[in-house]
Amino acid sequence: MNTWNIQWKNQWKKTIALGSAAFLLGGSAVYAASPAMQAGGSANVENVQDAPMPLPLTEEEISAQQLADAEYMALLWMRTSAEYRALCYQGYNAALMAIDRAQANPSARSGKPLAIVLDCDETVTDNTRAMAAAAAAGNGRYDALWWRATVHEGRSEAMPGAVEFLNEVARRGVAIFYVSNRWSEVNYEPTIENLKALGFPSVDAEHVLLMEDRKMSDKQPRFDRITEDYDVVVYMGDNAGDLPLGTKGMNRTARNAAIDAAQEEFGTQYIVFPNPAYGSWISALAKDYMTMSPEAREEFYAKTLTE
């Protein structure tokens, strides 16, 4: 497919996708992100033929839009579906049942205080509104500047049932550890403020463990620090890296094998929340997935979907 055809296709797809994004953001916010508005157009054009033509997209913009297109249905599902809410409740209920079992049979445990370990984003905090805004603007890359702004503005919301779940865990006397790969140096204070504002318990330096070194995103050392003093009943997250399975840096095949090897622990010791929008599963698709040319990515989609 030549560059002109890809550019035309992506302009057309963006117009269609912006209509879907109206579900997520509201019409005015979506229209403000449209190509016509970005090109200096007016929101009050009386005749369609008088509307300004959108400016041609660069290859980088085409690539970013292509990535955004791939995220639309995932974000619509996460933000609107009853099934997504049901899976959130299911995960929290499973964790409470695991705590029930642990507290009912203390002789089978280590004798250390009980704890749960959980990720923040898309495990108890919901960032889909901000993600949808980025996708509606044609940005499917979710770069560090965009994410940092989201965190600093404290825009994370609570996932369905998360506040009630965590407060019930605290009521039962079980310690709660938030182990997140938000970068501590710039995100610690706004993260603390946001979690407190949402009504989550145990929000302090002892229980909120963010990433201290961006070159060391593996959570296992933080898990090990917790298990020195606590008996962890369940690990909860939306990414395999949120669990002590050693999947950091693994490719698709190895990640799937690690999950298969631990299959009996899911729903009891390991609880996973659905996140089809982002995560390590994307980087595991291919080493150069995010930097592929639009043409190469289209070919990759066709090949991978029919493997």
Spatial separation of the C-alpha atoms in residues 112 and 230, rounded to whole Å: 5
End-to-end CA distance of the chain: 22
Write the CA distances from 54 to 1, 72, 163, 227, integer angstroms. Answer: 21, 21, 44, 56
Tell me the pLDDT band of 37, cut-offs 50, 70 and 90.
Answer: very low
Average pLDDT over residues 106-122: 97
User: For residue 31, what pLDDT band results from cuts at 50, 70 and 90?
Assistant: very low
Higher-confidence residue of 300 and 26: namely 300
Percentage of residues in the chain having pLDDT higher than 70: 82
Cβ atoms of residues 270 and 94 within 8 Å:
no
* Lowest-pLDDT choice from 21-25, 48-52, 92-96, 174-178: 21-25
Regarding predicted confidence, which is higher, 235 or 4?
A: 235
In 3-state terms, what secondary structure has residue 246? coil
Using CA atoms, how far apart are residues 234 and 96, in angstroms rounded to an integer? 9
Question: Rounded to an integer, what distance in angstroms lies between the CA atom of residue 193 and that of residue 177?
Answer: 16
Q: What residue type is 136 in one-letter code?
A: A
- Chain CA centroid to CA 243, Å: 15
**What is the per-residue pLDDT for 142?**
79
> What is 80-106 written as a DSSP string?
H-HHHHHHHHHHHHHHHHHHHHHHH-G
pLDDT greater than 90 at residue 62: yes
> In 3D, which of 167, 165, 146 has the Cα closest to residue 155?
146
Whether 33 shows a pLDDT value over 90: the answer reads no
* Residue-level pLDDT at 40: 42
Most confident of 142-151, 203-212, 279-288: 203-212
Give the DSSP per-residue string, 34-67.
SHHHHTT--TT-SSGGGSPPPPPPPHHHHHHHHH
Greater confidence (199 vs 33) lies with 199
- Check residue 214 and give its pLDDT: 85
Q: Is the dihedral of CA 126, 130, 132, 134 positive or negative?
A: negative
For 78-88, how does the pLDDT look when each residue is reduced to its tens digit (9 = 90+)? 999 999 999 99
Give me the pLDDT at residue 24, please: 55
126-184 pLDDT tens trace:
999 999 999 999 999 877 787 888 888 899 999 999 999 999 999 999 999 999 999 99
* Helix (H/G/I), strand (E/B), else coil: 157: strand
Average predicted confidence (pLDDT) for the chain? 87
Contact between 275 and 122 (Cβ < 8 Å): yes
Cβ–Cβ < 8 Å for 17, 140 = no
Query: Token pair for residue 276?
Result: 């089809």
